[in-house]
Amino acid sequence: KNEVEQSPQNLTAQEGEFITINCSYSVGISALHWLQQHPGGGIVSLFMLSSGKKKHGRLIATINIQEKHSSLHITASHPRDSAVYICAVAGGSNYKLTFGKGTLLTVNP
């Protein structure tokens, strides 16, 4: 079974700061997802990665398959970025998703 570790668990930043959230997994995967969940809200898919790097607005996601590691970066952070960010990995031969426990990001004005 794949183990998914996220760091940090909690992160507090000032508006405008550059944010990095990390995700490591133990077994080779076919895809990695980054999800966002606002307090009391639903879950939104931010990125799905199988290699390289993706960018959407101020968000950048990278993955290093050899090192079994992914990072989510937020540039010029804003209070509306405050949310829980969740990493999830999909295995190669099955159709299950395994999730990290999430990183709670708080961006203060």
Partner 1 sequence: EAQVTQNPRYLITVTGKKLTVTCSQNMNHEYMSWYRQDPGLGLRQIYYSMNVEVTDKGDVPEGYKVSRKEKRNFPLILESPSPNQTSLYFCASSLGRGFNQPQHFGDGTRLSIL
75 vs 73: CA distance, rounded Å:
6
Residues with Cβ < 8 Å from 57, sequence gap 6 or more? none
Binding residue for partner 1, selected from 11, 13, 65, 97, defined by CB under 8 A = 97
Options 7, 50, 51, 64; binder of partner 1; rule CB under 8 A: 50
Taking CB under 8 A as the rule, does residue 86 contact partner 1? Answer: yes
Q: Which residues make Cβ contacts (< 8 Å) with residue 6, sequence separation at least 6? A: 21, 22, 23, 85, 86, 87, 100, 101, 102, 103
**According to the binding rule CB under 8 A, does residue 38 interact with partner 1?**
no
* For partner 1, the closer CB: 43 or 76: 43
What does the binding site for partner 1 look like in residue numbers (CB under 8 A)? 1, 30-31, 33, 35, 41-45, 48, 50, 86, 88, 90-91, 94-102
